Amino acid sequence: MREVPDYWRIADDVIADVKSKKLKPGDRLPSIADTRATYDVSHGTVQMAYARLEALRVIRRHQGKGVFVNDPKLWMREP
């Protein structure tokens, strides 16, 4: 079995946390530095995870304020 890339695992964890109600719409995600420390990955890996989540509309970024969870009704569905 192939291992899932770190950025994919981080994105999947965020999605799972929203589905389980651990994270709610409007909640702010941890900073990139905190996420790096939690997963022991590079800045670029966290950026890739956030880019994936943003493409799926799971999160939205607000310059200078942080990254926030979107309402699941707004999410794009994966093909």
Exposed, middle or buried by CB within 10 Å (0-12, 13-18, 19+), for 6? middle
CB 50 within 8 A of CB 58: no
pLDDT (tens digit per residue) in 40-75: 999 999 999 999 999 999 999 999 999 999 999 999
- The predicted pLDDT at position 20 comes to 97
CATH code: domain 6-74 is 1.10.10.10
Q: What is the mean pLDDT of the chain?
A: 93
Q: Is the pLDDT of residue 24 over 50?
A: yes
**Rounded to two decimals, what is the model's pTM?**
0.89
Exposed, middle or buried by CB within 10 Å (0-12, 13-18, 19+), for 19? exposed
Beta bridge partners of 79: none
CB 69 within 8 A of CB 59: yes
Residue range 25-35: mean pLDDT, rounded: 96
Q: Is the pLDDT of residue 79 over 50?
A: no
